[in-house]
């Protein structure tokens, strides 16, 4: 092998080792194993998929919470309306009983 080729290979190996050392230092300093998706494509894809699943579950939980709140508000409004209608009916029957004859009430 020529000395030029050996120097090129040694330089390439030194660059590769320096890059690997930089990545390792970055992992240690950040506490993250993956800095770029290309570092571990399969794990990055899994992490992205899991994050989307968590986001979807959070949105579903929000939707259910809002739906339950809407149902509770609607139930309260319907109960209030039913009570008012009952009061109106009672008042109407009371008024009809005092001003109507027996024939009109039938």
**Predicted confidence (pLDDT) per residue in 50-77, tens digit:** 999 999 999 999 999 999 999 999 999 9
Q: Which domain holds residue 66?
A: 41-99
* Whether residues 24 and 64 fall in one domain: no
CA atoms of 92 and 100, how far apart (whole Å) = 11
* Whether residues 45 and 69 fall in one domain: yes
CA atoms of 44 and 42, how far apart (whole Å) = 5
- 64 in a structural domain: yes
State pTM to two decimals: 0.52
- 50 in a structural domain: yes
pLDDT at 94: 77
Tokens of 48: 């992205």
Contact 35/23 with Cβ under 8 angstroms? yes
Contact 45/58 with Cβ under 8 angstroms? no
CA atoms of 67 and 73, how far apart (whole Å) = 10
- Non-local (6+) Cβ contacts of 12 within 8 A are none
- 1 in a structural domain: yes
- 106 in a structural domain: no
């Amino acid at each position: 092998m020529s000395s030029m080729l050996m120097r090129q290979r040694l330089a390439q190996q030194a660059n590769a080792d320096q890059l690997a050392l930089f990545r390792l230092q970055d992992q240690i300093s950040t506490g993250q194993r993956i800095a770029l998706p290309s570092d571990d494509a399969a794990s990055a894809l899994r992490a992205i998929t899991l994050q989307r699943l968590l986001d979807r579950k959070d949105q579903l939980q929000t939707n259910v919470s809002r739906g339950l709140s809407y149902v509770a508000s609607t139930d309260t409004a319907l109960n209030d309306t039913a009570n008012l209608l009952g009061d109106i009916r009672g008042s109407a029957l009371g008024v009809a009983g005092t001003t109507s004859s027996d024939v009109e009430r039938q």
